[in-house]
């Protein structure tokens, strides 16, 4: 039995439009107020609700104000095509201002860039291309204000499959 023509056409146009949308974020997430706040890609599909295959490793759980923390996003199962990362207060769904700032890990300039959200400076890190990456390394400069923080990440396996609000372990600034 051959599928009706109309079905085939719809099928292909859906695939094409998803690819188009993915293409538009190939160079990293935007710094519009909305994306800076909810960190959600405009890929035309909703984030995954199952647990993500990724882990966000942090080199320290406690730092002094202004000290640095090394971080890595990785997975033994999946690669990473895109990411959008901010430091936030622990209660990050309410306190959406990015906190602290980032530095690029040496050698990671090819895949990562620093961008500035919400009037801050280099407080967000995102991808520069959509090549599949084994892992993403970066450095967070802790803010001056003591408190409990987390690194909040959007991680895209591809344009249609991504997780938002993935967090590192708590990082306490003393």
Site for ligand NAG, residues 49 to 88, rule: CB under 6 A: none
Candidates 5-13, 56-64, 90-98, 106-114 — which segment interacts with ligand NAG by CB under 6 A? 90-98
Q: Does 96 bind ligand NAG (CB under 6 A)?
A: yes
Candidates 7-15, 18-26, 92-100, 116-124 — which segment interacts with ligand NAG by CB under 6 A? 92-100
Q: Does 167 bind ligand NAG (CB under 6 A)?
A: no
Indicate which single residue of 164, 166, 168, 173 sits in contact with ligand NAG (rule: CB under 6 A).
Answer: 164
Report the nearest approach of ligand NAG to the CB of residue 42 (Å): 14
Window 22-41: contact mask with ligand NAG (x via CB under 6 A):
----------------xx--
**What HEC string does the chain produce?**
CCCCHHHHHHHHHHHHHHHHHHHHCCCCCCCCHHHHHHCCCCCCCCCCCCCCCCEEEECCCEECCCCEEEEEEECCCCCECEEEEEEEECCCCCCCCCCCEEEECCCCCCCEEEECCCCCCCCEEEECCCCCECEEEEEEECCCCCEEEEEEEEEEEECCEEEEEEECCCEEEC
Q: Does 165 bind ligand NAG (CB under 6 A)?
A: yes
């Amino acid at each position: 039995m051959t599928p009706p023509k109309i079905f085939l056409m719809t099928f292909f146009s859906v695939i094409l439009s998803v690819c188009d949308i993915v293409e538009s974020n190939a160079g990293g997430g935007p710094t519009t107020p909305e994306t800076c706040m909810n960190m959600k890609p405009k890929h035309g599909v909703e984030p995954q609700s199952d647990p993500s295959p990724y882990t966000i490793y942090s080199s320290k759980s406690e730092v002094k104000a202004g000290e640095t923390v090394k971080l890595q996003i990785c997975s033994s199962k999946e690669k990473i095509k895109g990411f959008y990362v901010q430091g936030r207060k622990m209660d990050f769904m309410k306190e959406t201002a990015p906190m602290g700032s980032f530095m690029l890990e040496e050698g990671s300039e090819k895949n990562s860039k620093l961008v500035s959200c919400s009037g801050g400076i280099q407080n967000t890190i995102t991808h520069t291309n959509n090549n599949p990456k084994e892992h993403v390394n970066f450095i967070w400069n802790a803010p001056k204000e003591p408190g409990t923080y987390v690194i909040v990440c959007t991680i895209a396996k591809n344009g249609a499959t991504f997780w938002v609000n993935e967090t590192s372990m708590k990082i306490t600034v003393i």
